[in-house]
Amino acid sequence: MKRFEIIKVDDPKWSRLIFSSNQYDFYHTRAYSSLELSNKNEPLLCVAYWDNEFIALPIVIRKIEGTDLFDCTSVYGYCGPVSSVPPEDISGEHIMYFQSRILNFFRERKIVSAFSRLHPILDQSLFFSGFGTIKDVNNTVAIDLRLTPDEQARQYRKSHRYEIKQLYSRGFKVVEACEKSEIDLFIQIYREAMKSKNADPYYYFPKEYFYLLLKNSCFKSKLLLIKYEKKIAAGAIFTLTKDFMQYHLAVSNQGYRKYAPMKLLLDNARFIGIENKIKFLHLGGGINGNSDDSLYRFKAGFSDLRFMFKIWQLIVDEKLYYYLLDSLGNKIQNTDTYFPAYRAK
């Protein structure tokens, strides 16, 4: 028997479904999606069932200002659909049912376009076969925690290994933040770094965002700090789920960047993943999909393992989509590379 359901973020059923998925990450959880409520968006879980199996797609519905129309996106990070069984074991009939019911829902809710960042390690392309467009964005880097610690370290770039030893010899230490004062200081350093980089306002997360990341009922997380002479040199929040450990938010204190303290932090973080029997420590990619910037090169120095980050795009109503685009005239740029184009800056 087939059926389709829309689950709101305050419904505990969301968690039961995600936790029973074949594979999932913290991006799929109810706790993480609930953060979108502060942006006045509507997070939902779209679920297509057949027999005792399902496909579930977390989305975030956004109002298009000045209209009675909407579009949908995914949470910040690597999301996309999950299922109760491996994608390759799902019949074409059931994938088509999932797609058709999602499309009907979009039309009913006046959703003009849909976009989702996909999870690089999960195989999600089959869910969108013949349904919208999937685009390769960039490679991401991951450390295979199923290897022995020595095998992992042998993949480090030679300069990484040398600088990690130097950090140890200088007295830099890795600690887990336990006190609220330490968390607040990390938040302060993070915000100062965003300000110095003229980051998009989106990345100025409220304090509650950090607190929820570090304490919720859906996934584990750790705030690791690098300290030098009792001062914080760097810090990063890592999330842990069944198979994946994510290097989610990280910052180095301006005064210590010349020592590259984050290298010591990542070298230590992998042991937490090993202790929790996690398969991959995913470091992510470069800035804005760039596989040739300094951030990507830094991450690439820790592992030879690569995964392709992809995105999914769907124009639900072409007439309305191009109406919105035409109505903006020459007020926006980058319409060829940004989706949906009417939201380009």
122 in the same domain as 101:
yes
Return the pLDDT at 334.
56
The pLDDT assigned to 335 comes to 57
Q: Is the pLDDT of residue 289 over 80?
A: no
Which range, of 171-180, 292-301, 324-333, averages the lowest pLDDT? 324-333
pLDDT recorded at residue 196? 84
80 part of a folded domain: yes
Please state, in angstroms and rounded to a whole number, the distance separating the CA atoms of residues 279 and 301: 19
Residue 300 lies in a domain: no
Structural domain span for residue 57: 2-139+309-343
Q: How confident is the model at residue 331 (pLDDT cuts 50, 70, 90)?
A: low
Mean pLDDT of the chain: 94
Residue 293 included in any domain: no
Q: Answer yes or no: do 167 and 230 share one domain.
A: yes
Does residue 162 fall inside a structural domain? yes
pLDDT confidence band for 333 (50 / 70 / 90) = low
CATH number of the domain residue 169 falls in: 3.40.630.30
Q: Letter for the amino acid at 118?
A: L
Task: Check whether residue 194 and residue 319 sit in a common domain.
Answer: no
Last residue of a domain, one of 261, 278, 295: 278
Answer yes or no: do 134 and 7 share one domain: yes
Q: Quickly tell me which residue has 């380009």 as its tokens.
A: 344
Q: Where is the domain boundary, 256, 278, 300? A: 278
Specify whether 90 is located in the same domain as 198: no
214 and 253 belong to one structural domain: yes
Q: Give residue-wise pLDDT tens across range 21-49.
A: 999 999 999 999 999 988 889 999 999 99
Domains: count for the chain? 2
pTM above 0.85, yes or no: yes
Q: What is the average per-residue pLDDT within 320-340? A: 77
Q: Are residues 335 and 263 in the same domain?
A: no
- Who wins on pLDDT, 188 or 198? 188
Strand partners, 45: 7, 58
Is residue 324 in a domain? yes
> 212-251, pLDDT tens digit by residue?
999 999 999 999 999 999 899 999 999 999 999 999 999 9
Q: Report percent pLDDT > 90 for the chain.
A: 85
Judgement on whether residues 57 and 185 belong to the same structural domain of the protein: no
Q: How far apart are CA 246 and CA 266, in angstroms?
A: 11
User: Phi/psi at 80 (nearest 5 deg)?
Assistant: 85, 180
**Is 8 in the same domain as 112?**
yes
Are 195 and 66 found together in one domain?
Answer: no
- At residue 91, what is the residue type? S
